[in-house]
Amino acid sequence: MPIARFFRRKSLDQLVGETVVPQHQLKRVLGPIQLTAMGVGAAVGAGIFSSIGTAVAGGAEHVGAGPAIVVSFLLVAAACALAGFCYAEFAAMVPTSGSAYTYAYATLGELVAWVIGWDLILEYAVGNVAVAISWSGYFQQLLRGLNLDWPGWLGVDYRTALQAARQAAELSAAQADLSALAPD
C-alpha cells in the first residue's frame, strides 16, 4: 500500500463541486446571531462555570488568583477570538460543510483529516460530559437550597442500578446459604 495514499488531497474545486449535487447540500437556516452564539458557547463551554470559584479562591493544593483572574480571562478570550478568526478564514477559503475535517482534507491530506475528524468527535463527547457534570452539581445545590431531597438512585444510570440489584440478590442468596450451614 503506497504511503502517498494517506496524504492525498482534494482540490478546492473538487470539494465545492461535491456540494452541487442536491443530496449533498445543506440548507442554510442559521443566521449570524445564531452562529455567533454557537461559537461563543463552544469556546466558553462549562469550564468557566465549574472552575471559576476554585481559580479565584484557591484550593487545598494551590493559592487562588484573586482579582488577577480577570487577566487570565482576557488572555483566554483573545485566544478564543484568534481560533474564531481561523475558523472564519477556513469557512471563507472552503465554503462547504465539514468543519476542520474538510479544511484539513484540502490542505494537509486524508490521514490528518481522519485524525482531526475523530478528534472532534471525542472533543465534543468529552465536552458534553463536562457540561453535564457541571450542570448536575449546580442543580443539586439548587435543590439543596430549596430543601428538596434528591434521592441518590436518581443520579445512577439504569445499567449501574441493574448491576447493583443483581449483586444485592446474589448477596442475599449467599447469606441464605451461609445461614443454612451455621449450627443452631
Set of cell numbers at residue 21: 449535487
Secondary structure of residue 148 in the 3-state scheme: coil
pLDDT of residue 124: 81
pLDDT of residue 115: 94
Closest of 38, 63, 49 to residue 133, by C-alpha: 49
Closest of 6, 2, 10 to residue 106, by C-alpha: 10
pLDDT of residue 119: 92
pLDDT of residue 21: 74
Cα 6–12–17 angle (5° rounding)? 105
pLDDT of residue 164: 84
Closest of 98, 104, 118 to residue 18, by C-alpha: 98
Q: Show pLDDT as tens, one digit a residue, over the chain (184 residues).
A: 577 777 787 777 777 777 777 776 777 788 888 888 887 777 676 667 667 777 788 777 778 888 888 898 899 889 888 988 888 888 787 777 777 888 888 888 889 999 999 998 898 888 778 777 777 778 888 888 999 887 776 767 777 878 888 988 888 888 777 676 666 5
How many angstroms from the chain centroid is the CA of residue 19? Answer: 28
Phi then psi for 116, rounded to 5 degrees?
A: -65, -40
Set of cell numbers at residue 90: 477556513
Within 10 angstroms of residue 103's Cβ, the number of other Cβ atoms is 21
Q: How many CA atoms lie within 13 A of 90 on its CB side?
A: 18
Can you say whether the dihedral through the CA atoms of 101, 119, 69, 40 is positive or negative?
positive
- State the residue for C-alpha cell 461563543: 40
